[in-house]
Chains A and B, each alone.
Chain A
């Protein structure tokens, strides 16, 4: 996709919902991940073909992203999450302050979701790792939710993960 095509596709995504909060507040309670993902999922799913199941799927995916930012984020600055829609896809844009040392990690983790061996890596992580790494979580989104994942590089310290989820197709 060239720059003009990408720009055209970008403009077709309609904004649905967004929130912003102090990162320190977000990090003060683990349950914020569950509460925010459940609430946002319900809000954006109401006019999908099957709102209940769409909401269930979306909450699963968004919760994982919020958990990634919870585990990897800095307490200063703000976390922002916006959801957009274009046809059967929802786009989640999640921005959060990330330590400089982790930016490269995220670049590599996202790149691995695009590689041909993504599924083999995911199975390997399931069968050998002691716990789920953030890399495995991104692979989970790509494999189990058919997500397309990329990073939007802004100036430090913020990092933005963009995830396109074709849930309407999966749910229906």
Chain B
């Protein structure tokens, strides 16, 4: 057992700019005296606040009744003394007991509302959580795995390691890694209950019982510090609106000397022949479309900078091209069809694009499919794989 968490002090901080008081860590005092300073800070924050005070407990891993009661009393007393202020308690669906415990405060005082934080960091999740997208995620992993299985050992993968696959999606990558490299332990985490249910079902059907699938928020994980030899996070930084925040968490759970491995795209570099111009135009527009929804599908080549800024050293970056020549060209075509459906059929519509734009947008995907299936055609989807070592 790691003792790091047990010894870790909790944090109780006030951000005056956002009028947000945050509790994080493990708060299990023997008496209120032990947390008197935090209680006092909390009281001062309430004194300072005008309008709404947010109470953020998203990263509160544990809080005993002594602490819960003490902080609750401060809020409840404030409600009675200050009719001008509202309290919004922000809980996490991941740390389920916070949702269950804090909800009662709203029953006692109507000035208190309890919200379950979920989607702010996942602008793209609704687009990929549709179960119709699942088969295509399988095909994507199948096509990228042909390349990744060769390059992963250069990024820290080896038998016997303890690894985490963050944003594991439907879990295929974890299953493939398990079979090919035999890690000692795999924790696979995602924030989609539908994807996890699918992953567990597949694992059960294959008789796999040693992958720990967990529902979690990649930007606020329950996982302890310094646990994993290798942390993988594939195709996910690019769909977070704050990739640096996610990298900070990946860094935190990685062991010193261990590595964090990320893959990302640069969609505007998707290519195909024939009909190259039409394909090029559409993928340039894909990048703009994602940018509209606060996602950066051009992140791939920026991986080195992101890893360096997050504090990693020994950064290794390489790229590979998934093509129609990798196995069955129809697999490639199926992926592009799924992209067309989601990007042109849902995202562009949601952005409010006119029909003529959507038609031209669709044409580029169709031309990419044509290139993939043409006997003399070539279609490519470039991916950047990068890893950095957490310094010892």
Chain A contacts to B: CB under 8 angstroms: 30-31, 33-35, 38-39, 42, 46-47, 49-53, 56-57, 59-60, 63-64, 67, 122-123, 126-127, 129-132, 136-137, 140, 143-145, 170-171
With a cutoff of 8 Å between Cβ atoms, the chain A residues found around residue B72 in the complex are 126
Instruction: Establish whether residues B104 and A123, one from each chain, have CB atoms under 8 Å apart when the complex forms.
Output: yes
A17 and B96 CA atoms in complex are apart in Å by 24
Q: Does B276 contact A (CB under 8 A)?
A: no
With both beta carbons as reference points, the residue of chain B lying nearest to A124 in the complex is identified as: B108
Nearest CB of A to B75, in Å:
10
- Can you show 24 pairs from A to B with CB atoms below 8 A apart? A30-B30, A34-B6, A35-B6, A39-B1, A46-B212, A49-B200, A52-B187, A53-B214, A56-B97, A63-B28, A64-B65, A67-B64, A67-B66, A123-B108, A126-B108, A127-B76, A129-B69, A130-B73, A136-B65, A136-B69, A140-B65, A143-B104, A145-B97, A170-B96
Q: A34 to B26, Cβ gap below 8 A? A: yes
* Contact between chains at B222 and A53 (CB < 8 Å): yes
Pair A51/B108 contact, Cβ less than 8 Å: no
User: Which of A52, A53, A57 has the most B CB atoms < 10 Å from its CB?
Assistant: A52
Q: In the complex, A132→B70 CA distance in Å? A: 9
- Across-interface contacts of A53 in B (CB, < 8 A): 94-96, 214-216, 222
Q: Interface size on B (CB < 8 Å)?
A: 39
Instruction: Assess whether B94 is in contact with A122, with CB atoms less than 8 Å apart.
Output: no
In the complex the two chains form, is A131's CB within 8 Å of B70's CB? Answer: yes
Q: A131-B69, A170-B96 are in contact. Are A50 and B215 (CB under 8 A)?
A: yes
Residues of A within 8 A of B108 (CB): 123, 126-127
- Select from chain A the residue with minimum beta-carbon distance to B102: A144
CA distance A38 to B108 in the complex (A): 31
Shortest distance in angstroms between A137's beta carbon and chain B's nearest beta carbon? 5
Which of chain B's residues have a CB closer than 8 A to the CB of A64?
Answer: 64-65
Main secondary structure of the interface of A (DSSP, over half): helix
Taken together as a complex, chains A and B put the C-alpha atoms of A49 and B105 apart, in Å, by 30
Instruction: Identify B213's interface contact among A50, A57, A67, CB under 8 A.
Output: A50
Could you tell me if B1 and A52 are in contact, using CB atoms closer than 8 angstroms? no
Choose one: A30, A49, A137, A144; the contact of B100 (CB below 8 Å): A144
State in angstroms the CA–CA spacing of A44 and B26 once bound together.
20
Residues of B within 8 A of A127 (CB): 76, 108
Query: In whole angstroms, what is the CA distance A158 to B347 when docked?
Result: 64
| B65 close to A47 (CB less than 8 A) | no
Across the interface, which residues of A come within 8 angstroms of B97, CB to CB? 56-57, 60, 144-145
Known pairs A67-B64, A122-B104 / 7 extra A-B pairs, C-beta < 8 Å: A33-B28, A52-B223, A53-B215, A60-B62, A64-B64, A145-B97, A145-B100
Taking the closest CB of chain B, its distance from the CB of A22, in whole angstroms, is 20
Closest approach, in angstroms, between the C-beta of B89 and any C-beta of chain A?
13
Residues of A contacting B214 with CB < 8 Å? Answer: 50-53
Report Cα–Cα, A63/B67, bound state, in Å.
Answer: 13
Q: Which residues of B contact A60 (CB under 8 A)?
A: 62, 97
How many whole Å from A126's CB to the nearest CB in chain B?
6
Q: Is the C-beta of B61 less than 8 angstroms from some C-beta in chain A? A: yes
Query: Across the interface, which residues of B come within 8 angstroms of A56, CB to CB?
Result: 61-62, 95-97, 222
Residues of A within 8 A of B189 (CB): 52
Query: Which residue on B lies nearest to A146, using beta carbons?
Result: B100
| Option from A63, A126, A129, A145 in Cβ contact (under 8 Å) with B104 | A126
The answer to the question of B39 belonging to the interface, with a C-beta cut-off of 8 Å to chain A, is: no
As a 0/1 sequence over residues 69 to 89 of chain B, the CB contacts with chain A under 8 angstroms (1 = contact) are 110110010000000000000
- Residue of A with least CB distance to B214: A52
Whether B209 contacts A47 by the Cβ 8 Å rule is yes
Q: Which residues 95-123 of B have a CB within 8 angstroms of A? A: 95-97, 100-101, 104-105, 107-108
Cβ–Cβ < 8 Å partners of A35 in chain B = 6
Q: Which residue of A lies closest to B69 (CB)?
A: A132
C-alpha gap A162/B6 in the complex (Å): 26
Q: Which residues of A contact B64 (CB under 8 A)?
A: 63-64, 67
A49's nearest neighbour on chain B, judged by CB, is: B200
- Convert B361-374 into 0s and 1s, putting 1 for each residue whose CB lies closer than 8 angstroms to a CB of A: 00000000000000
Least Cβ distance of B76 to chain A in Å?
A: 6
- Residue in chain A with minimal CB distance to B100: A144
Within 8 A of A (CB), among B112-157: none
Chain A residues, CB < 8 A from B101: 140, 144
> Nearest CB to that of B215 among chain A residues?
A50
* Residue B338 lies at the interface, judged by CB distance under 8 Å to chain A: no
Q: B5 in the interface, Cβ–Cβ < 8 Å?
A: yes
Residues of A within 8 A of B26 (CB): 34
Bound CA span A170–B95, Å: 12
Contact B6 A52 (CB under 8 A): no
Return chain A residues, CB-CB under 8 Å to B61.
56
B245 at interface by CB-CB < 8 Å: no
A132 touching B215 by the CB < 8 A rule?
no
Q: How far is the CB of A14 from chain B (nearest CB, A)?
A: 17
Question: Is the CB–CB distance between B69 and A51 below 8 Å?
Answer: no
Whether A57 contacts B96 by the Cβ 8 Å rule is yes
- A48's nearest neighbour on chain B, judged by CB, is B212
Minimum-distance CB pairs A-B, first 6 = A132-B65, A52-B214, A132-B69, A30-B30, A144-B100, A127-B108
